[in-house]
Amino acid sequence: MDIIKRIRLAGLIMLIGMVAGIFSVAPVIDSADYLKEAFRQSNQVIVAAIFQFTLSLTYMGFAVLIYPVIKKFSDSLSLGFLSFRILAVSVSIIGTILLLSLLTLSEVFVQNESPNTLDFEALGTILKSTRDTINHIFMVLLLCVGNIMLYIFFIKARLMFRWILIWGIIISPKI
Query: What is the secondary structure of 9-69 as a DSSP string?
Result: HHHHHHHHHHHHHHHT--GGGGSTTHHHHHHHTHHHHHHHHHHHHHHHHHHHHHHHHHHHH
Binned at pLDDT 50, 70 and 90, residue 166 comes out as: confident
Contact indicator for 67, 43 with CB cutoff of 8 Å: no
Residue 121 has pLDDT above 60, yes or no: yes
**pTM of the entire predicted model:** 0.86
Binned at pLDDT 50, 70 and 90, residue 139 comes out as: very high
pLDDT value of residue 155: 81
| Alpha-carbon dihedral 170, 171, 174, 175, rounded to 10 degrees | -150
Residue 117 has pLDDT above 80, yes or no: yes
Residue partners of 98: CB distance under 8 A and separation at least 6:
127, 130, 131, 134
- Round to whole Å and give the CA distance between 128 and 124: 6
